[in-house]
């Protein structure tokens, strides 16, 4: 497996656990949205090596994840509370992994793959 695959799997796992921890604590529409994204990421992960367009869709989703989390008041407030309790800290770590680390790793793998292709 490549870094791109691992980065998507990291985001999927983080979103699943974060979504589970937030069930009943956030509006149901956010939980539905979270698991819809998980489902979409799983499908795109399966199709990643079959269709070239999937790489670009995932790049767009990675950029959107970083941007949306960076401007989300709820996410920013949660980051300010890191360390206030075990529950909040776990949620913050999952948020950082799912909305920043996974997407950034995917973007780096996308850039690296495209640089390799240009050399040959």
pTM: 0.91
According to the model, what pLDDT value does residue 120 have? Answer: 60
Q: CA–CA separation, 40 vs 13, rounded Å?
A: 13
Tell me the mean pLDDT per 10 residues along the chain, length 120: 94 97 94 96 97 97 96 90 92 96 97 80
In angstroms, the CA 112 to CA 109 distance is 5
Q: What is the per-residue DSSP string for 11-43?
A: HHHHHHHHHHHHTTTS-HHHHHHHHHHHHHHHH
Q: Which pLDDT score is estimated for 119?
A: 67
Q: What whole-number distance in Å separates Cα of residue 24 and Cα of residue 105? A: 31
* pLDDT at residue 38 in the model: 98
> What is the model's pLDDT at position 116?
78
């Amino acid at each position: 497996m490549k870094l791109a695959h691992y980065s998507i799997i990291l985001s999927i796992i983080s979103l699943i656990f974060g979504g589970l921890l937030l069930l009943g604590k956030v509006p149901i529409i956010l939980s539905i949205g979270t698991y819809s994204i998980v489902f979409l990421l799983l499908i795109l992960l399966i199709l990643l090596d079959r269709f070239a367009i999937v790489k670009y869709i995932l790049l767009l989703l990675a950029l959107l994840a970083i941007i949306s989390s960076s401007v989300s008041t709820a996410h920013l407030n949660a980051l300010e509370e890191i360390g206030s309790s075990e529950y909040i800290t776990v949620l913050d770590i999952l948020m950082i992994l799912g909305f920043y680390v996974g997407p950034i790793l995917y973007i780096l793998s996308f850039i690296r793959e495209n640089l390799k292709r240009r050399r040959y």
